[in-house]
């Protein structure tokens, strides 16, 4: 898929099929993650954890469940995705550049997933609830001293990705 088409097809997917992504798809996604720009080339403070194990996925889903603003019902913060990729870091600096590093990695993951016709969604808000449950976080076997900063859910979208025309969403000043 041409890069411009990837940009037009990318969107946050909030309904995934149960079908797991293939090992080849995961390998391509992780290769894209490895190509992300990191501040000062710092590849020593960022860690990727891939979660596909169903029992632990369900435990994490419970830990991160949210109330729907519309219905008040409990909802899955990962939207049923069969793969969750957690990004963690250590030695968080005063300027918090590690959050920027993680965001760059996630963007590469999201764009590669789209190029593979997979859905994805950037996960942020619910992770505070997960971090508050150290016994569950411990099951992710993060390296010592690392904390989860963000995540991305990946899987086959519930409905096919569609091409969309760009919107002028961001204000632009040209000087």
**pLDDT band, residue 97 (cuts 50/70/90):** confident
Q: Cβ(13)–Cβ(158) under 8 Å?
A: yes
Q: Cβ(140)–Cβ(86) under 8 Å?
A: yes
The tens digit of pLDDT for each residue in 61-75 reads: 999 988 888 888 889
The tens digit of pLDDT for each residue in 142-154 reads: 999 999 999 999 9
Q: What is the pLDDT of residue 130?
A: 95
Q: What is the pLDDT of residue 175?
A: 94
Rounded Cα distance between 46 and 54, Å, is 25
* 46 C-beta neighbours (distance < 10 Å), count: 21
Cα separations (Å) of 145 from 29, 45, 46, 127, 160? 25, 10, 11, 17, 40
Q: What is the pLDDT of residue 58?
A: 95
Walk me through the domains of the chain, giving residue ranges and CATH numbers: 3-155 (3.40.109.10)
Torsion of CA 56, 115, 107, 139, to 10 degrees: 10
How is residue 12 annotated by DSSP? B
């Amino acid at each position: 898929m041409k890069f411009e088409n990837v940009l037009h097809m990318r969107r946050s997917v909030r309904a995934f099929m149960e079908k797991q992504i293939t090992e080849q798809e995961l390998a391509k996604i992780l290769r894209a993650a490895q190509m992300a720009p990191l501040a000062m080339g710092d590849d020593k403070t960022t860690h990727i954890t891939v979660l596909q194990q169903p029992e632990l996925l369900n435990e994490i889903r419970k830990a991160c469940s949210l109330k729907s603003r519309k219905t008040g019902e409990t909802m899955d913060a990962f939207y049923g995705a069969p793969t969750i990729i957690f990004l963690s870091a250590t030695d968080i600096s005063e300027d918090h550049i590690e959050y920027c590093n993680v965001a760059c990695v996630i963007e590469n993951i999201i764009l590669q997933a789209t190029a593979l016709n997979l859905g994805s969604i950037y996960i942020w808000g619910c992770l505070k609830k997960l971090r508050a449950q150290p016994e569950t976080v411990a099951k992710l076997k993060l390296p010592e001293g690392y904390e989860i900063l963000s995540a991305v859910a990946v899987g086959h979208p519930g409905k096919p990705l569609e091409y969309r025309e760009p919107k002028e969403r961001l204000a632009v000043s040209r000087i």
